[in-house]
Structures are given as structure tokens and as C-alpha cells.
Amino acid sequence: MFAVRETSSELSVLHIPEFCTWNISLESTLLDLPLSNCQIELTQQAKEVAKAFEENSMLPGVILTNQGNFVGIISRRLFFEKVNRRYGVEMFFKRPIEVLYKFAKPEELVLPASKLIVEAAQECLYRSAELIYEPVVVEIAPQTYKLLDVHQLMVAQSRIHQLTNKLLHKQTQAKLIQTEKMASLGRIVAEVAHEIRNPLNCIWGNLTFLLSYFEHLLQLMSVYEEEYSAPCPRIDALKKEIEFDFIQEDLPITLEGMELGASQLLKIVNGLHHFSHMDETKPAETDIHECVEMTLLILKNRFKNSIEVVKNYGELPLVSGYSGQLSQVFLNLLVNALDALTEYAADREIQTECLDNWQPQIEITTKVIETEDGKRVAICIADNGPGIAPENHQQIFDTFFTTKPAGKGTGMGLAISHQIVTEKHGGQLRMRSQPGKNTEFEILLPIVGTTD
């Protein structure tokens, strides 16, 4: 290595930032890295390049131009490799740099500034061994180029790798925590449902006998009146006092109401027991409509503000899956739709200028469709709420991502639902949304007995 003392006003060298002083993220591009911009005309002597390398120890190379237009690059490594050869100084040093450039014939890797760091690092590693440390040409704009040191690119790639590992660890921990929470919740719900079911079954079973006993008593009273038709003041007074005629008419209605209430309560308990099967170890043949109905029953109290549920149920075969986990998916999707419609309805009440006849609605459609992988059961849950902004579509299934205000959502419901559908059931979960019109989630599940 040698020093060159001559200076040239034609040489333009920008400051090169120190290593590891920039902030990057998983989505960082080449534009986020420190780039060098040392340009020299082909007609300038090679010693001007040596001068630039001496004054800027971090300079990976120079950009060669012809009347300001990009021609190519000469890297630090390649320049000194050629110049330090025997007779290299005599051959190249005081001649135009164009001579050395044509002699070396370097290969350049040109990448757009919008290229992700991860992708750029991969392309660099795919180069031949002798070029692996050559700087990368970054195209900032048409006919505007800068250089990136490969070492800086690899440092950035290493940082992104660390960030990815941290994120994966965080997501894994979050999934483990959520899984444990759901398993614990499932066990608690199952125990409570079991404790409620025993006395409820007693009430439900005895109501049938009670109705039968009452009918028999009425028959007995009717026979007594026929056999002993003579008036009795004491009996007539008691009948009037207890309003016997009203009791005779109202008691059957009361008992039927109790039977209906017990029936509904039994359905809710069965729904809770069905929903609590979050720790199932083996898939089983599952009735999708039963899962949806049980979930709607559990959420019955949430359907306020005149939210209408429209069911378009088709004829569905059984699917192989985990009923409790599928119920969790339906619950998450329905809760999101209910929250969106409730908030949208409240906003419209504040905006008194809304004079259309909009009514909040959730539509549930089930059918069998033909896909590239064969027949699938499709479950669509759609609402006519405000929709989801286009910029959020790509992130909607990311862990911790939420469009709800702070404190009103963990951002895990859709991520867990996506995991359950895709990983646990080999299906697909899709989202379609038109801002200001609607949002639709479509679940596609394999059918029992079909093969891809």
C-alpha cells in the first residue's frame, strides 16, 4: 500500500458513516443503510482513485462515470489487486482509470434501493466466491447510483436475524401463554358446566313428571265434580279464594315456560361443555352447524343494538377437526364483528346526518365449494360494518396486531384463529373487506374422507 499526495478538485467524495450506527427493522431496505457516493470520470487518472481510498478508509469503491452517466465501479479490493501487481503502477497509475476498468472487466451487482436487506444479502451470497466481497451498486433513482459495503450489509442482516429470533421467541411465548390460558379456561368451563348440568338434568327430568302429575290431578278433579255434583259452599269458597279457574288455565302455561327455560339453560350448558373442549388431543368428526349454533348461543347476550343474524346454511358433510378449537375461531370472528358493528352504530348515532336505513347485520353462510385442492367446506362470517382499512389487510393475522383502541384488544384473536384453521385443521382463513361497506372472513376446511 502506498500514499498519494496529489489532490483533484474533480473528485467528489461524501462522508462515509461509521459501522453499526443505524437503526434497522425487519422491513428495512438498502436505502436505510449508509451508502457511499464517490464518483470519478473515466478520463481521470487512477492515482485519483488511490487518493480517494487513502483519505476514506471505509470507502468500498468508486463509481465510474462518462460525462456524468453511470458506467460501472472499481472496488477497493480490485483496484489495489491490479495496481500492486508487478508493473501495475507503471501500467495503470498515471493513465485514465478507463484503462484499468477495461482490463479488469469487473462484474457489478446492481440492486434497487427499495430492495429488502434480507433479499439483498441473499443475492450477494449467491455470487461467485471471488465476487462475494465486492460492493453492491444501489440504484437510488434513474442514473443515480451509490455503493454499499457488503460488510455493512452482512452486519445489517445479522441484526435482522437477531430481531427475527427475538420476535419468534416473543410469539412462541405468547402462543404458549395463550394456549395455557385457553386450556385452563376450558377446564374451568368444563367443570362449571358439569356441576350445573347435574342439578339441571334433575330439574329437566322432574318437569316432565310434574306436567304429567298436574294433568292427572286435573282429571281427578274433573271426575270428582262429575260424581259429586252437589254444591258445597266450603269448596266453592276455597275455589274462589285461590282463583281455581285461573290456576287451571295458567299452571300449564307456567310449567311449559319452566320447561322451555330449562331447555334453553340445558342448551347453554351443553354449549359451554362443547366450547370447553380446547385440550382435545385427537381430531373427530365435527358438525360445523352445531359448533356455530353453540357459539351463537353463548354470545346471545352480545347481540344487542338490533344486530340481526342471517343464517344461510347449506347442506354440509362432517369435517375432521377439534370442535372446541373451531368454536374458538367462530367466537373470535363473531366477537370482532359484534364489536365493529356496535362501535359503528354508536358513531352513526352521534352523526345525526346519517339518514339511510342501515341496520347492523351479521351474515353466516355455509356451503361446499370446489377448490384446486378438491372439495372444501366454506364458512363465511360477514358483517356490514365500517370495513378494514387497506393498509391493515396484510397485517390482520399478525400476532398482537389490532385495530381496536388501546386497552380493548390484545391483537391475538385473529392470529390464533389463523393458526387453528391452517396448522390444526389444514385449512385456510381468508379476509375480504371493502372500507365503509363490509368485512368477510372465509374459512375453508377439508371434508372427512377426502384426500388432496
Could you read off the pLDDT tens digit of each residue along the chain, which spans 452 residues? 333 333 333 333 333 344 445 678 888 888 888 888 888 888 888 888 888 888 888 889 898 888 888 888 888 888 888 888 787 777 777 888 888 888 888 888 899 999 998 888 888 888 888 888 889 999 998 888 999 998 888 888 888 888 888 888 887 777 677 666 656 666 666 667 777 777 877 887 788 788 888 888 888 888 888 887 787 888 888 888 888 888 888 888 888 888 888 877 877 777 676 666 555 667 888 889 988 988 888 787 777 667 889 999 999 998 888 888 888 899 889 988 888 888 888 777 666 556 567 888 899 999 999 888 788 999 999 998 888 877 776 777 765 555 555 445 444 578 888 888 988 888 999 988 888 788 899 999 988 665 44
Residue with cell 421467541: 169
Q: What is the three-state SS of 147-179?
A: EECHHHHHHHHHHHHHHHHHHHHHHHHHHHHHH
pTM exceeds 0.85: no
Q: How high is the pLDDT of residue 364?
A: 94
| Half-sphere exposure for 54 (CA within 13 Å, toward CB) | 13
For residues 113 and 139, the answer to whether their CB atoms sit within 8 Å is yes
Q: What is the pLDDT of residue 354?
A: 60
Going by C-beta distance under 8 Å and a sequence separation of 6 or more, which residues neighbour residue 263?
204
Cell numbers representing residue 397 in the block? 393475522
367 burial type by CB count under 10 A (0-12 exposed, 13-18 middle, 19+ buried): middle
Phi-psi group of 317: left, alpha or beta (phi > 0 → left; psi -120 to 50 → alpha; rest → beta): beta
Selection from 139, 131, 136 nearest residue 149 by Cα: 136
Ramachandran bin of 48, using left for φ above 0, alpha for ψ from -120 to 50, beta for the remaining angles: alpha
How many residues appear in the chain?
Answer: 452
Question: Dihedral sign, CA of 24, 25, 26, 28?
Answer: negative
Decide: helix, strand or coil at residue 342.
helix
Q: Are 61 and 174 in contact (CB under 8 A)?
A: no
Asked if 49 and 64 count as a contact pair (C-beta separation under 8 A), the reply is no
Strands 361-371 and 308-313: parallel
Scan for cell 430492495, then name that residue: 115
Q: How many CA atoms lie within 13 A of 398 on its CB side?
A: 12
Let me know: does 139 contact 111? Beta carbons within 8 Å.
yes
Q: Decide if 245 contacts 153 (C-beta within 8 A).
A: no
Residue 307 grid coordinates? 344486530
pLDDT at 448: 67
**Pairing relationship of beta strands 284-286 and 308-313 according to DSSP bridges:** unpaired
Per-residue pLDDT at 412: 53
Please tell me whether residue 308 adopts helix, strand or coil conformation: strand
Q: Kindly report the number of other CB atoms within 10 A of residue 384's CB atom.
A: 20
Rg (CA), the chain: 38
